[in-house]
Structure 1
Amino acid sequence: MALNTTANALLAAHAFWGPVTATLDWCEVNYQFSRYIAEVANSFSNLFTIGLAVYGAAQSVTENLPPRYLVGYAGFALVGLGSFIFHATLLFEAQLMDELPMVYVASYCCAILFDTTRGFDLRESNASQLGLIFTVFNVLFTWSYYVSRNPVYHQVVFAILMFTTTFRTVYLLRNGEVSKRLPQEQRSTIARLFSSGAATFAFGFLIWNLDNVFCSNITRWKQSVGWPAAFLLEGHSWWHILTATGTYLMLIGNTCESCRWSLALAVLLKSSLDLTLCIKDDHNNYTVTKKLGIPRIQRVQKIKTQ
């Protein structure tokens, strides 16, 4: 314990990024192992997020999915990259790189849920109007959050977007005109995924808050266990991993009727992407296969969609 304390103080005093300027800090000890990485576990746990996002983006390219889905995976990766930089530096500017993409991606997924016209031709849908609303909203939010610098404001806006996405999804699954495009079995699978996703999100949020509330106790446990085993007690890092796993599985699970991941770890953030893929296209055009044990989307007939 004495060695760790001394090392932390010395590394923090010579931190490459300077003093902490972020409005948030986490339970992981700062600059414990390197003067270049403020929070090692919280930083590198985001590589899991980035890896799944890149894997999903590769599927979008190889299976010729519409560009909107590649954009979604790119946003997914941007969240992971921004979070890595934030936890590595604990600078306010880096904090924005973490928190702003969360709102951008959530609002993007929310926006595309309101584009339910068959096909992906932008001229025959309300995508242009939705794009304008999406842009104006995010410009205003970016400006207002930079001015206020209140993390509660960010959390409230993000929560509203999440609830809107959830309610819109439930509406689409129950709306007669839209839901009739999907078989009952597939709609039931998506509904179960959303239920398990909501429960998992709540559980992850609980872990995150327990990590904050009982930080002093958890820190003593880490010191008793020692590293590297103590990395398993980093609650915020587990939040990153659970969120990444759930987001990816929800992206896959809501695409095809053959996919049944209702017991998988899931969150709600980006399931809207693949729900609209089934609504705007024929769900029979897609199936789910596994590569190295990881589920992936596969187009039955590889005809490029506009």
Structure 2
Amino acid sequence: MAPTTASFDQVGYWSPNTASVDWCENNYVVSYYIAEFWNTISSLFIILLGELGLYLCPTKEKRFKVTFRTITVVGIGSTLFHGTLRHKMQLLDELPMIYAATALAFICIENKHGAQGRWLPISLATWLFLTTIFVSITGGKIQFYTFQGSFGILQLIIIYYVTVLHRQQKTIISIRGGQNDSSWLITRAIGVYFFAVTIWLIDLHLCEFVNGVGPQSVLKWNPQLHAWWHVFSISGVYFSTLLIAFQHYVAKGLQPSVYFWKGFAPALTLDPHAQQKAAKLH
């Protein structure tokens, strides 16, 4: 979290800051109109991956449309939040993160246990409603840790289910003779995301040592770790979403595999003989 220094306290168009957190980027240094310039610019990458994931999704099932579009909304909210450091814009960043993670958790639970009926979406919707209210009406450390706690629980649920399903589906894929890209996806999903969490923690708790401006900083320049968190975390989320979709398609017998769109963007494709079945999924 940003220390109290003259550099971080510069006044800009959106001053004063009302968000519950101020990240480790010198405020209003690049532009008088953008509070955290590099954190704002890197948020555009989140929007890009959300829309790319939606475009490349091999089926247009509502669950995946909602997930990828919510990621896009996260990117928009993150752009507004870091550009202004205002509390209302912070909510547009954090609440969609919880919504996207809840959508992924819902898919994971149904991938493992099958369709659960109406009780599951109703329960999740109720929990989201209460979380939204509490995160919205609180401030300071209470707001910050309420959001982090809620989001962290969802992340642990997702990691648990994708790991369990990965182990189970190794056998299914080997029996069916399909291509096992699940290992490739889970390695990158977890590896990239944990790297992102590491630099996020450094940026949050060791800012005075890496901000490039304070007397305790061991660096002469700010590496903009939170901006890199945006890039690596959303890449991890993108890999995780592909993995969860992969597991979903395996359960439906659609024999998914990974390919690289335009030679660089990983995406899923389905067995040609399963296309008619996939077309019926909405």
Which TM bucket (shorter chain)? 0.7 to 0.9
Who is 2:265 aligned against? 294
2:232 alignment partner in structure 1: 242
The C-alpha deviation readout for 1:219-265, integer Å capped at 9, x for no partner, is 33799998xxx57x10001100001222223334x3xxxxxxxxxxx
Shift of 1:181: 4.2
Cα 1:163–1:117 shift into 2, 3 Å: closer
* AA in 1 matched with 2:89: A
Gaps of 5+ in 1: 119-123, 255-271
The Cα shift of 1:210 comes to 1.8
Give the aligned residue type for 2:42: S
Q: In the alignment, what sits opposite 1:85?
A: 80
Provide the rounded CA distance (Å) in 1 between the counterparts of 2:7 and 2:213. Answer: 18
Shift of 1:51: 0.9
Change (3 A) 1:290 1:59: closer
CA distance in 2, matches of 1:54, 1:107: 19
1:131 aligned onto 2:121: yes
Q: Secondary structure at the match of 1:183?
A: helix
- CA distance in structure 2 between the partners assigned to 1:70 and 1:22 by the alignment: 30
- In 2, Cα distance between equivalents of 1:237 and 1:117: 34
- Measured on the aligned residues, the alpha-carbon RMSD in Å equals 3.3
The secondary structure found in structure 1 opposite 2:267 is: strand
Q: Is the 8 A contact 1:179 1:187 kept in 2?
A: no
Superposed displacement of residue 49, structure 1: 1.4
C-alpha deviation, 1:179, in angstroms: 6.7
Distance change >3 Å, CA 289–CA 8, structure 1 → 2: closer
Aligned length: 267
Task: Check conservation: 2:13, 2:33, Cα contact below 8 A.
Answer: yes
Aligned to 2:16: 19
Alpha carbons 2:63, 2:103 under 8 Å: kept: no
Aligned: 1:100 with 2:100: no
Could you list the runs of 5+ residues in structure 2 that have no partner in the other structure?
none
3-state SS of paired residue (1:36): coil
1:128 partner amino acid? R
The counterpart of 2:211, out of the listed 196, 206, 219, is 219
SS for the counterpart of 2:246 is helix
What secondary structure is seen at the aligned counterpart in 2 of 1:296?
Answer: strand
Normalised to the residue count of structure 2, the TM-score between the two structures is 0.80
Residue type at the aligned position of 1:305:
K
Match of 1:47 among 44, 52, 77: 44
Distance 1:112 1:284 in 2: 18
2:147 is matched with: 154
User: Deviations along 1:111-162, whole A, 9 cap, x unmatched?
Assistant: 12222499xxxxx943533221221110011112223332112111111111
> C-alpha separation between the residues in 2 aligned to 1:16 and 1:159?
33
TM-score by structure 1 length?
A: 0.75
Partners of 2:146 and 2:8 in 1: CA distance: 32
For 1:117 and 1:207, the matched residues in 2 are separated by 32
What is the CA distance between 1:191 and its match in structure 2? 4.8
Over the matched positions of the two proteins, sequence identity in percent amounts to 25
Matched letter for residue 182 of structure 2: I
Are the counterparts in 2 of residues 57 and 74 from structure 1 also a CA contact under 8 Å? yes
